[in-house]
Amino acid sequence: MKKETSDTLNPAAVETAHVVVAPSRRTAADYVALGVATCGVGLIPFAPGTWGSAVGLGLYLALGRASQQAFDSAVWRGLDLSPQQFQTVLTTVLLVAVVLVSLAGTWAATRCETLLGKKDPGAVVVDEVAGQLITFLFVPWGAGAWTVAVGFVAFRVFDIWKPYPVRRLESLKGGLGIMADDVLAGAYAATLMSLLTSTRLLLF
């Protein structure tokens, strides 16, 4: 069968077919895996990978705002905290989120390959969520709306383009292969965003 990808610009590859698990035979854990893997948007027929990235972007903004509110509350209570310390806290929160999403995504994606009968099914977008979070790891919070837009586009470009060795990671088995290529694409995007934000701070 053809290997399915999250968006349509990637070439197909021939893979061994899997047995699809009928809905009547699915367990509660199977439905949890489907929910985690699709993130509520994976079954959208048009560009599911882009929708998955949008979920990752939304999660980044939500975590950033929650961290900012907690930080402001701590300062209001009299704690002597600097903006640099806030950035450290936010980076830590994002790192924890990336690890949790990646671990849960690897499990869920592995299970979904069997459930959906496809290698790297397009409905699985939790990998895009992890990659999009990684993109913003080193972006200063509040650097401007441009960082949000550029970070989103940068990750989509690296995810679809798959520069070496991103595409080779797809050959890894199960959910590990599904997650690994997007994690590396996110690392490429994070490097680019770090360079862009650093350059902008130096120039302006």
- Residues 189, 50: Cα–Cα separation, whole Å: 15
- Residues 30, 15: Cα–Cα separation, whole Å: 23
Tell me: the pLDDT tens digits for 136-163?
999 999 888 999 999 999 999 999 999 9
- Residues 16, 34: Cα–Cα separation, whole Å: 21
Tell me: the pLDDT tens digits for 11-50?
444 344 344 666 667 799 999 999 999 999 999 989 999 9
Q: Would you list the domain boundaries of the chain?
A: 23-203
- Residues 196, 202: Cα–Cα separation, whole Å: 10
Tell me: the pLDDT tens digits for 81-106?
888 899 999 999 999 999 999 999 99
Q: What percent of the chain has pLDDT over 90?
A: 70
pTM comes to 0.88
